[in-house]
Structure 1
């Protein structure tokens, strides 16, 4: 694959990852990142200025997606803890109401 086409494919994967993350499709984002990874790893050290600029944009998107993933993980963790507390509360009510 020619280098510009290779970079373009990586760019498209990155945009797809960003879109999946934006709508909370984290499983899809992870799948796309897994598919993109070998392409990134196969890049040589020598890249054109345009390719380097694109790679910097990809890196910036990856940082934003990672931050969004961390925020989503924290929010889901908080929801989980709240749901577990509600379950305990309901269980306690059932236990007390039986008397």
Structure 2
């Protein structure tokens, strides 16, 4: 991977994290998909400067995973709450029909 590509992957990682902070999950997913081939093309031999950037990308990835997991859990909780409300409404309507 060239230094330009690594720098691009680094900037995309920072932008991805900002997108998650802003709640723009679609943009974050697009960035992750675009960034993936850049990261997969990393070569075995890297300069010390490149290794430092790679380590920073790895640290940012930990934040990305944490934020994405928290967002997923929030969506799951909202979905569960909505299902429970629908179920309660059904039961309420069914009880009204029994009268």
- TM-score (norm: length of structure 1): 0.89
- Segments of 5+ residues of structure 1 without an aligned counterpart are none
RMSD of aligned Cα (Å): 1.4
- What corresponds to 2:90 in structure 1? 91
Would you identify which runs of 4 or more consecutive aligned residues in structure 1 move more than 6 Å?
A: none
The alignment partner of 1:46 has SS state of coil
Is 1:64 aligned to residue 63 of structure 2? yes
Is 1:14 aligned to residue 32 of structure 2? no
The alignment partner of 1:67 has SS state of helix
TM-superposed CA distance for 1:51, in Å, is 0.9
> 2-side partners of 1:75 and 1:6: how far apart?
34
Is 1:34 aligned to residue 42 of structure 2? no
TM-superposed CA distance for 1:3, in Å, is 2.3
> 1-side partners of 2:39 and 2:68: how far apart?
21
User: What are the within-5 Å matches in structure 2 for residues 46-65 of structure 1?
Assistant: 46-65=45-64
